[in-house]
C-alpha cells in the first residue's frame, strides 16, 4: 500500500509558486499604473484636439487686442498697429 506524504509539492514547487505569484502581482500593478497614466494624459475638456495637439494660435489682431487690454500699448498704438496689419493682410497674395 502506498502512502502519500504532504501535498506532493517539493522545494522547487514552492519557489515556482512564489516567483509566479510575485510576477502576477507585478503585471497587475504595472497594468494599473499604465492605465492611470494613459487616462490622465487624455484631454479632459471638450473641444480640444487629439492628444498632443496644440490649441490654435491666436491671430495677430487677437494678440494686439490682448496687449491693448493689458495696458501694454495705448489706444493710438493699437489703432496704428491694426491699420498696419489690415494693410498687410489686404495686400498679401492669396493662393
Asked whether residue 79 is domain-assigned, the answer is yes
Q: What is the rounded CA–CA span in Å between residue 39 and residue 36?
A: 5
Asked whether residue 64 is domain-assigned, the answer is yes
In three-state form (DSSP H/G/I as H, E/B as E, the rest C), the secondary structure along 31-56 is HHHHHHHHHHHCCCCCCCCCCCCCCC
Asked whether residue 81 is domain-assigned, the answer is yes
Q: What is the rounded CA–CA span in Å between residue 30 and residue 92?
A: 55
Q: What is the rounded CA–CA span in Å between residue 57 and residue 66?
A: 13
Asked whether residue 35 is domain-assigned, the answer is no
- What pLDDT is recorded for position 49? 53
Asked whether residue 29 is domain-assigned, the answer is no
Average pLDDT per 10 consecutive residues for the chain, totaling 95 residues: 62 87 97 91 58 75 91 92 85 60
Whole-prediction pTM: 0.39
Tell me how far apart the 2 most distant CA atoms of the chain are, in Å: 110
Asked whether residue 76 is domain-assigned, the answer is yes
- What pLDDT is recorded for position 51? 56
The residue range of the domain holding 85 is 60-91
Q: What is the rounded CA–CA span in Å between residue 88 and residue 82?
A: 10
When divided into structural domains, the chain yields a total of: 1
Asked whether residue 80 is domain-assigned, the answer is yes
Asked whether residue 77 is domain-assigned, the answer is yes
Amino acid at each position: 500500500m502506498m502512502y502519500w506524504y504532504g501535498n506532493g509539492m517539493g522545494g522547487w514547487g514552492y519557489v515556482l509558486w512564489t516567483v509566479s505569484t510575485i510576477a502576477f502581482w507585478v503585471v497587475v500593478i504595472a497594468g494599473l499604473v499604465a492605465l492611470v497614466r494613459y487616462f490622465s494624459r487624455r484631454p479632459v475638456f471638450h473641444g480640444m484636439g487629439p492628444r498632443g495637439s496644440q490649441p490654435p494660435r491666436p491671430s495677430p489682431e487677437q494678440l494686439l487686442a490682448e496687449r491693448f487690454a493689458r495696458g501694454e500699448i495705448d489706444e493710438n498704438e493699437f489703432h496704428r498697429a491694426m491699420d498696419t496689419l489690415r494693410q498687410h493682410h489686404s495686400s498679401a497674395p492669396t493662393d
